[in-house]
Amino acid sequence: MFAPHRLAAALAALSVLLAGALPVQAQSAAPRLNKSQRTLLEAVVAAVDRVAAGAPEAPRVEATWLSHVLRASDGSHYVALRAEVPEVPAPTAPATIYVRLALRRVGGETLLAPPRSAVMDWLQGLRGDPLPMRAMKSMSVPQGEIPVGGAAMLAGSQAIVAANDASNALRLQDMERERARRDREAREKQRRADLESRANSPVSSLHAFEDFDVKSVLGPAARGLLIERGITTGPGDYDVYIGWAEPGSAKAPAVRVITRRLSLPAANRSEFALSDVVLADAVRTLESPYPVDQQGAHPYAIGALETTPARDTRFRVDEPLSVVVQVINPSGGPAGKPDVDVAFRVSREVAGRPQLVGSLPVQHHSAATLPVDFDVASGHPLFAALQMPLTTFARGRYTIEVIATDRLGGRQTSRTATFEITGTPASLLREAPTPGQAFRRDSVLAPATLHAISRALAPPAPSEPLARALAAVESGRFSDLLRVDTTVAAERPVAQALLGLGLYGLGDSARSVASQLTQAASLGAPSAPVLLMLGATYALGGDDKAAVTAWNQAREGGIDDDVVATLLIDAYMRQGDVARAAAMATAALDSQPGNAAARRALAATYIATRRPGDALRVLDAAPAGAAGPEHDFLVMHALFAGAVAGDAAMTAPAARERFAALAQRYVQAEGRHAELVGEWLAVTASAGR
C-alpha cells in the first residue's frame, strides 16, 4: 500500500491543451475515381447492403470493438472507433474502405424503411455529392481577417474608378457578404438542431453518416487486422458498418464487413460534462495535424495530439498508463478563456470495496495556462491528460475518477474508468514467499513445536492440573494456560512459563509475553523451551540478532534441530546471511535425511540465491510420501523461477507440463498461495501460446 503523497510523487502529470477543432471532415468536391476504384467501391457498398439486410451469404466477420464518445466543436457527437479483426491479415496494398452509420430508431419509433446510400446513388450517377451527410468543417474565420473577395476585388483593368462607383461596389459586396453570412448561420442552426434532437426532426432519406477511402492503408493488430475510423453524428440508436476489400484481378473481390450497435444520447450544448475517459498506451504530439483527407483514418488524432488507446483495460506493472479526457461546455470569460480545475483520484478494490490509493495534483486550465488564441466561443476543445508509471502499484483492480470543476459557472462533473494491473513474470516471481520473510507469530505454534515445548517443560511426575495444562499445549488450547491451578511449589515456574505461552498464543504483545517468560526463567523454569519462546518474542519485535542467540541456546539446551532449524534459517536470511542459512539447512538435512522442513528450507535458500535447478534437485530427492502443499509450492516456485530466468531445462515441454499439472492441482485445492500460483499459471500458459 502506498501513501497518497508517494503516489503523487510517482505520477508525472501532463496537460494537453489544443486550440484546434476536433477532427471533423470538411466538405469538398466529389472525388475522382478510376473505373477499377469505382467498381471495387460499388462491390463494398453492395456487400454492406447485404449484411444490413441479413442475407445469409453476407460476408460478415467478427471483430473486437473499442469506442470513445467525444464532442465535436459544433455540438455533435464525435465517436472514435477501433476494431480488431482476428485471423484476418492486413492487406498488402492500399484497400478500399467504406463506413456507414445507419439509424435504427428515431425517438421511440423503429424505422419502417431503410434509408438510401448517397454513395451508391453517386456511383450510379443519380447525384453529384457522394457524402452529403458528412459534417462541415467547424472552424470559423477569425474576426477582423479580410475575407476572400474583399477590397482586393476593387483593382480592375481600368486605372481610375470613380469614387461613387467604388462606394456602391463596397456596399454591394457588404450586402452580399451579409446575405451569405445569414444563409450560413441558418444552415448551421438547422444542422445543429438536427444533431441535438433527431426525434424532433424529419427523418432523412439518406444514411446518417457515410465515408469512404479508396487508398486506405490498414495495419496489422496483435492477432489480425486493425481498423480505426472516426464518425460525427447526432443522438440516436445506430448500426455501424465498415466494409473493405483489397484491389486485385479477381472479378469478385473478397469483401469483408464488420458491424456493431451504437447508442448516443442527446448532445446538450449547455451541460457541463466530461467525455468518455480514454485509457491509452501512449500519447504523443504530432509535428502537424493530419490533413483533412486522413483524419477519418486517425480518429484518436485530435489536432496535434495523437493517442494510442489501450486495446483492453489490463496493464502490466512495467507499462505506463495514459489518460485523456475532454472537458465539455466549460464557461468562458470575456476573452473566451475558461477557468477549469481537473483532479484525478485513484482507488483500488480491496475486499469488494474501493480504497483510496492517492490523488494527483490538480490541473488548472485558465488564461494563465491556455494558448493566447484559445476561445471557448469558437468551439476550441479543452483536453486534460496525464501519464503515470505503474511500477509501484500492487496487482489488482483500480478505478480512476476524473473530477472537473468549472469555476466560472460554479459547476462540477465527474467520470470514472476502471482498469486492472497485472504482474510481469519477474514481478510475480518477486511476490513469492521465500526464507527471510517477516516473522509470523504462528511460526512457533505448529503442532511439532508445541509438542517439543510441552515435552521439555514437563517434570518427571506432573500433578494432575499441570498434566491437563501440558495436554492443552499439545492441542493448542491457549486459554486453558492462563490459570494453572497447581499446588506443588516446584511446578510454579513451569506454570509461569505456560502463562507466557498462553498469552503468546492468544495474541498478546511481544513485550508482555517476554516479561512473563523472563519471570519464569528467573524462577527456575527449564531454560531450553523458555528460550525457544523468548526467541519468538524477539523476532516478533524485529530483533533477529537476539532471536538467533536465544534459538541457538535452545538447541544447545536440547531442543531438536527440526524444531529450530527453519526458524534460524529464516532469521539468518532476514539478516542477509544466506551462506549461514544454507549451511544450516544442509547440516540439518545431512543429519536427518527425513527432515522435510530442513529439505524445504535448503531448497528455498537455493531459490533465493537464484539456483532453481539445485532447489529442484533437493526437492526431487525427498523420500516417497514427503510431498505436500508446501513441498509442491516450492517445486512450482523453482520451476517458475527457472522459466523466468530462461533456463532451458525449466522451459522444456516436460517441465512446463509438470508445472501446469502441479499448479492446477494446487489452485483447485485452494492452497495458501493459490491466487499467486494462478497468476503464474496464466503467465506460463500465455507464453506457451
| Domains of the chain as residue ranges with CATH | 1-20+272-423 (2.60.40.2550), 32-133+163-267 (no CATH)
Contacts of 360 (CB under 8 A, 6+ apart): 7, 8, 11, 13, 343, 344, 345, 346, 386, 388
**pLDDT value of position 150:** 24
Q: How, if at all, do strands 278-285 and 320-328 pair?
A: antiparallel
Residue type, 311: R
Total Cβ atoms within 10 A of residue 372: 9
Angle at 371 between CA 365 and CA 372, to 5 degrees: 120
Residues of the chain with pLDDT under 50: 1-21, 24-27, 107, 135-173, 197-202, 689
CA 3 to chain centre: 20
Q: Give the whole-angstrom CA distance, residue 313 versus residue 322.
A: 12
Q: Give the whole-angstrom CA distance, residue 548 versus residue 571.
A: 7
Q: Give the whole-angstrom CA distance, residue 491 versus residue 216.
A: 92
Closest to 60 (Cα-Cα) out of 52, 70, 68? 52
Which residue in this structure is represented by grid cell 473530477?
403
Residue 394 DSSP code: P
Q: Give the whole-angstrom CA distance, residue 669 versus residue 667.
A: 5
Q: Give the whole-angstrom CA distance, residue 445 versus residue 678.
A: 28
CA 276 to chain centre: 15
Contacts of 354 (CB under 8 A, 6+ apart): 347, 348, 399
Coil, helix or strand at residue 481? helix
**pLDDT value of position 189:** 62
**pLDDT value of position 112:** 54
| Cell numbers representing residue 510 in the block | 511481544
Angle at 246 between CA 240 and CA 248, to 5 degrees: 150
Q: Give the whole-angstrom CA distance, residue 580 versus residue 609.
A: 13
- List C-alpha distances in Å: 357 to 394, 500, 537: 10, 40, 33
**pLDDT value of position 643:** 92
**pLDDT value of position 80:** 93
| Cell numbers representing residue 543 in the block | 530483533
